[in-house]
Every structure is written in structure tokens, then in C-alpha cells.
Structure 1
Amino acid sequence: MIDALGIGTVVLIGLMVGVELSVAFVVNRILDALPDEATLLGRAHGGRMLGALMPFWYLGSVALSAIWAVAAWGEPGTGLVVTAAALLVASVVMSLALLVPINNRAKTWTAENRPADWEEQSGRWDRYHYVRVAVIVAAFTLVTAALAAG
């Protein structure tokens, strides 16, 4: 049971990390190389699509990590899972406080209604996202190490 929970948690977090790395280092770079209107529309669509999915993914990762930590309490690697869960909670807080407000604005932008500072706001979102990616990569590393320890 605990092994299956650990594997499921590692897979869920690993897939989330893969998507977020792709957004940070592939998708947004592709979009930013396009003409401004295409960049704006692509980022807005991505914000709507991923903005609808990511809350479940992030909260699911937190929940699975917490359940794993409780179920494996006292077993080798549990401290790693607890630390990973804390990092995932931090990523959720960071998302809600820093990234979601920008995303909620950006997902409605069009060429006609974009603010003058849309590129600055997009750049700020990107910088916050890089930090969030580092946090979830650390959490992924910890749950992977915990699975190996158990």
C-alpha cells in the first residue's frame, strides 16, 4: 500500500514538474519568439487552459504527499516526504499570492485590451514561475529519494 502510494505520488509530482519545466523553458520561449499579438494570445490561452488544471494537480500533489507521510510515519524517508509536502504547500501559497493574480489578468488579454505593461507583467510571471519550478523540482527530488529509501 505504502509503495503504491509513494509511486503514485512520485509519478503525479514528476508529471507536474515536467509540464511546468516545459512551460518555463520551452513553451513560453516559443511564444515569446512570435509576433506580439500571437505571444499575447498564446499566453492567454495557456493561462486559461493550465489555470483550470493546475489547482487540482498542485493540491493533489500536496494531498498525496501528506497522506504518504501519515501512512509511512516512522518509516525510512518519511522526513523527506514531510519536507517535500511543505515545499509543495509553499508552491501553492506562492502560486496564489504571486502567479495567479497575474495569470487571472493575462488570460483575458487581447490585442485590443492589453495593458501597456503586459510584457513586464508576463516577465514578472515568468520569474516567479522559475522560482516555483525550483521549489517543485526540490519536492520531486525529495519524494523520489524517499521512495528509494523506503
Structure 2
Amino acid sequence: MLNALEVFTTVVVGLMVGVELSVAFVMNRIFDALPEDGGQLARSHGGRMLGALMPFWYIGSVLLGAAWAVAGWSRPGAGFVVIAVALLIVSVIMSVLLLVPINNRGKTWTPENRPADWKEQTKRWDSYHYVRVAVIVAAFTFLVIALV
């Protein structure tokens, strides 16, 4: 049963990393290249769509990692799982304190109601997101190390 939990946790976190890497390095670049207001509208839609899903994914990843750490405490690699869980907790804290406030504003923006500094806020979100991606990549790496 522990083996299934280890694999499932690693896959869930790995998929989350893949989505967030895609947002950071593919989707946002595509959105920014859209003509006129297309990029801002796409980001608003993405903020609504992913903003509804990602809290469950992030918290679920922390809970799965914590379950793995507790269940596998006496096994080799448990320390790596604890480090991964700590990094996932950091990513949740970063999300709540830094990214979610910007996302909550951005997901309501339209070309008619967006603030004058919307591009600066978007760039700030992107900067925080790059750091968060690095944190969850590190967490995923520690889970993989613990798995092998």
C-alpha cells in the first residue's frame, strides 16, 4: 500500500509541476503574444479556471506527501519526503500570500475595467510564479529521490 501511495504522490506532484511549468514558459508567452486584448482576456480566463483547481491540487499534494512521510517514516528516503513536503508547504504559503491576491484581481479584469498598472501586476505575478515553480520542481525532485 505504501508503494502505491509513493507512486501516486509522485505522479500527482509531477503533473502539477508540468502544468505550472507550462503556464510559466508556454501558455503565458502565448497569451502575451496575442493581439490587442486577447492576452489579458486569456490570462483572466486562465486565472478563473486554474484558480478554482490549483488550491485542491496544492493542498492535496501536501497531504499526500505528509501521508507518505508518516507511513514511510522508518524507510530510507523519509527525510527527502519531509523536505519535499516542507517545500510544498512553502509553495502554498507563497501562493496564498503573493500569487492569489494578484490572481483574484486579475481574473475579474476585462479591457473595460482593468487597472492602469495591470501589466505590472501581471509581471509581478509571473515573477512570483517562476519562484514557486522552482520550489515545486525541487519538491518533486526530492520525492523522486525518495522513491528511488
Establish whether TM, by shorter chain, passes 0.5.
yes
TM-score range, shorter chain: over 0.9
Alignment partner, residue 67 of structure 2:
67
Alignment partner, residue 91 of structure 1:
91
Deviations 1:70-113 (A, max 9, x none): 00012100000000000000000000000000000000000000
Deviations 1:30-78 (A, max 9, x none): 0001124101100000000000000000000000000000000121000
TM-score normalized with structure 1 length? 0.98
d(CA) in 2 for partners of 1:17, 1:62: 13
What stretches of structure 1 of length at least 5 have no aligned partner? none
d(CA) in 2 for partners of 1:74, 1:132: 30
Identical-residue share of aligned pairs (%): 70
TM-align CA RMSD: 0.5
Aligned-partner SS, 2:37 = helix
Residue 21 (structure 1) aligned with residue 21 (structure 2): yes
Write the mapping of 1:21-60 to structure 2, written as runs, cut at 5 A.
Answer: 21-60=21-60
Count how many residue pairs are aligned between Structure 1 and Structure 2: 148
Runs of 4+ in 1 over 3 A off after TM superposition: none
TM-score normalized with structure 2 length? 0.99
